[in-house]
């Protein structure tokens, strides 16, 4: 990798991270929405113990309804936040990215900066949300729980980047992400839904994270296989977003002059 490309990547990263840090709505949601959602889910949901089958392993577990709901609610909160944050960041820089690439700025550096921003945002939000859960609850595998939350952040962050290239405004993006998250997580909650044990839930974006979170909370087995579903979703969303970005920033070279004779 050339020094010029590294320098361009570092500059793009700095501006992308600064732009993300200036998103006041996302900051408010991070500071207030995640703790509020986790607190409400833990304190207002029944602590009655429910039996449920962990689809990833086929084993039956028992857990408090408040703890299961807190896990589901946390995944819902972080998916909304990171999805909207990456959607907003990608939409706001869309025109500027096109001008930069038209002026000769390396697209590879811009793509690298976007992926770095996705990783930084996901690590920050997942760490914060996991820390809040640990204030209320002692899962059997806290590190695995954090990995599961990070996975859903990455999936929805990549989804936000993808949607930003197709939807016109932040309202449309936010509503779309909210609806996807509801359709995704509501049928998977073993307390609130009778469809949590259906085969089709395996196709949903947060399936891997929820199954891994439940395993981390209530078993001592390092159940990592569900994260393959998260990896597949992350790969598909990221590839689509980057392909659309490359197409959107493609520069058209003027045709070569034609000389007669």
Name the pTM for this structure: 0.89
Residue 79 lies in a domain: yes
Q: What angle do CA 40, 46, 50 make, to 5 degrees?
A: 125
Which DSSP category does 196 fall into? T
Residue 255 lies in a domain: no
Got the DSSP string for 43-76?
A: HHS---EEEEEETTTTEEEEEEHHHHHHHHHHHH
- Residue-level pLDDT, tens digit, the chain, 261 residues: 588 888 888 888 988 888 888 888 778 878 888 888 888 888 888 888 888 888 888 888 888 888 998 999 899 999 999 999 999 888 888 878 888 888 888 888 888 999 999 999 999 999 999 999 999 899 999 999 999 999 999 999 999 998 988 888 888 888 999 899 989 988 888 776 555 566 778 889 999 999 999 999 999 887 788 999 999 999 999 999 888 888 877 764 444 455 544
Res 254: pLDDT:
45
Q: Residue 37's domain spans which residues? A: 3-248
Helices (H) then strands (E): counts for the chain: 10, 2
pLDDT tens digits for range 126-167: 999 999 999 989 999 999 999 999 999 999 999 999 898 888
Residue 259 lies in a domain: no
Residue 25 lies in a domain: yes
Residue 256 lies in a domain: no
Number of domains comprising the chain: 1
Res 171: pLDDT:
86
Give the integer Cα–Cα distance in Å for 73 and 71. Answer: 5
């Amino acid at each position: 990798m050339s020094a010029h490309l590294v320098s361009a990547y570092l500059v793009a990263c700095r501006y992308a991270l600064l732009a993300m840090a200036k998103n006041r709505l996302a900051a408010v949601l991070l500071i207030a929405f995640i703790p509020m959602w986790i607190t409400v889910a833990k304190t207002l949901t029944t602590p009655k113990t429910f039996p449920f089958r962990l689809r990833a392993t086929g084993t039956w577990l028992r857990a408090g309804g408040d703890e299961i709901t807190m896990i589901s609610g946390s995944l819902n909160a972080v998916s909304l936040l990171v999805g909207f944050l990456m959607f907003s960041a990608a939409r706001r820089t869309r025109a500027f990215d096109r001008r930069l690439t038209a002026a000769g700025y390396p697209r590879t550096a811009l793509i690298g900066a976007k992926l770095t921003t996705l990783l930084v945002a996901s690590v920050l939000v997942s760490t914060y949300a996991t820390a809040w859960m640990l204030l209320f609850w002692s899962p059997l595998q806290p590190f695995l729980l954090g990995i599961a939350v990070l996975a859903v952040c990455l999936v929805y962050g990549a989804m936000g980047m993808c949607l930003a290239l197709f939807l016109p405004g932040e309202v449309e993006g936010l509503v779309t992400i909210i609806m996807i998250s509801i359709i995704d997580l509501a049928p998977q909650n073993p307390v609130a839904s009778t469809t949590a044990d259906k085969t089709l839930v395996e196709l949903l974006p947060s399936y891997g994270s929820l199954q891994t979170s439940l395993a981390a909370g209530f078993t001592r087995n390092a159940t990592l296989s569900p994260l393959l579903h998260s990896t597949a979703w992350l790969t598909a969303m990221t590839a689509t977003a980057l392909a659309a970005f490359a197409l959107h920033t493609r520069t058209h070279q003027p045709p070569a002059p034609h000389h007669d004779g």
